């Protein structure tokens, strides 16, 4: 019996000479919410395809609930809800017909929940899939994914194409509720402000590598923005300045290993005078880490 819903072990994916995923390893505990972030082309979607058994990695393995995602995909998909980056279905089919088709693929199916969610989203069952907006297609995919009461919900950039109201509904009313009920959620996203309130752990991919894998609260506790009224003589290396730039007549530093004692020691030794220390949001941390890199 495993405590992990997901285990990705040394997964490597190549497309010809392109190394898309580079020896990535991570665990996602049952009942937790894991947010995977990174720029476009960082390798997130390739990793998700391996996770869902849609692609066999050239090296390593992805397991779901202790079972190999590639060889046990058919059985595992009965336990997993999926919302892909690009929602896809025959454009001429009605939403109701798509739901009927999907209901035949799963051992358990709650049609009433599908209809209730679509009504909440304002998507008529009679609509042709091809006539829906990108956001509405995502909402249909989400309603179908939740019809099986999944143990694991995999969301690949789910807010793409959603308006502000729909994004708020997705995060607060759907994902937040599922997280409260103990459903494991794995989400790739650019909307860090949306996931910050309920994600337990965050990973960051860069050029195919997992460069960060950390508890959200721990990550936020060690990052700080420090603004100095005047240019400081030096930043204590113990604070690990990630970014250092001019700010008005003074300077601004983003530090990745903030410690009150180290800061006060630096303040006393450097005689820097006025300085403001601010906590940072997940989005601000991501920008600080990735913003200056190509």
Residue whose structure tokens are 């030096």: 234
Give yes or no for residue 110 having a pLDDT over 60: yes
How many angstroms separate the CA atoms of 46 and 54, rounded?
9
Residue with the bigger pLDDT between 242 and 43: it is 43
pLDDT at 259 over 70: yes
pLDDT at 294: 40
What strands lie across the sheet with 201-206, from one edge to the other? 80-83, 152-156, 184-188, 33-37, 201-206, 209-215
Global pTM reads 0.88
pLDDT confidence of 129, banded at 50, 70, 90? very high
Cβ neighbourhood burial of 282 (10 Å; 0-12, 13-18, 19+):
buried
Q: Please compute the mean of the pLDDT values over residues 67-96 and round it to a whole number.
A: 93
Q: Is the dihedral of CA 190, 192, 198, 199 positive or negative?
A: positive
Report whether pLDDT(8) > 50.
Answer: yes
Is the pLDDT at 293 greater than 60, yes or no? no
Q: Which residue has the tokens 């949001």?
A: 281
Q: Residue 242: is its pLDDT beyond 80?
A: no
**20-26 mean pLDDT:** 97
- In angstroms, the CA 284 to CA 220 distance is 10
Banded model confidence at residue 29, pLDDT cuts 50, 70, 90: very high
Average pLDDT over residues 5-33: 96
- Across the chain, mean pLDDT equals 87
Q: What are phi and psi of 10, to 5 degrees?
A: 55, 40
pLDDT at 226 over 50: yes
- Pick the closest to residue 158 from 84, 232, 55, 65 (CA basis): 84
């Amino acid at each position: 019996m495993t405590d992990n819903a997901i285990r990705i072990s040394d997964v490597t994916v190549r497309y010809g000479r392109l190394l898309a995923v580079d020896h990535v390893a991570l665990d996602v505990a049952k009942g937790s919410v894991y947010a995977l972030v990174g720029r476009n082309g960082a390798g997130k979607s390739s990793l998700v395809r391996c996770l869902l058994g849609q692609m066999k990695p050239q090296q390593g393995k992805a397991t779901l609930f202790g079972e190999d995602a590639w060889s046990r995909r058919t059985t595992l998909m009965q336990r997993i809800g999926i919302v892909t980056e690009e929602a896809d279905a025959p454009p001429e089919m009605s939403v109701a017909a798509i739901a009927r088709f999907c209901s035949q693929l799963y051992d358990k199916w709650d049609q009433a929940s599908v209809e209730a969610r679509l009504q909440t989203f304002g998507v008529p069952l009679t609509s042709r899939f091809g006539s829906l907006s990108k956001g509405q297609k995502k909402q249909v995919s989400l309603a179908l994914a939740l019809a099986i009461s999944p143990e694991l919900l995999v969301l690949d950039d789910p807010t793409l194409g959603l308006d502000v109201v729909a994004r708020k509904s997705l995060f607060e009313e759907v994902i937040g509720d599922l997280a409260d009920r103990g459903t494991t959620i794995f989400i790739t996203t650019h909307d860090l402000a949306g996931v910050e309130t309920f994600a337990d752990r965050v990973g960051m991919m860069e050029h195919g590598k997992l460069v960060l894998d950390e508890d959200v609260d721990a990550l936020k506790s060690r990052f700080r923005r420090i603004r100095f009224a005047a240019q400081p003589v030096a930043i204590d290396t113990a604070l690990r300045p990630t970014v250092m730039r001019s700010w008005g007549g003074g300077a601004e530093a983003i530090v990745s290993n903030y410690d009150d004692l180290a800061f006060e020691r630096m303040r006393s030794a450097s005689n820097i005078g006025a300085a403001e220390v601010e906590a940072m949001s997940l989005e601000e941390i991501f920008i600080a880490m990735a913003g200056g890199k190509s």
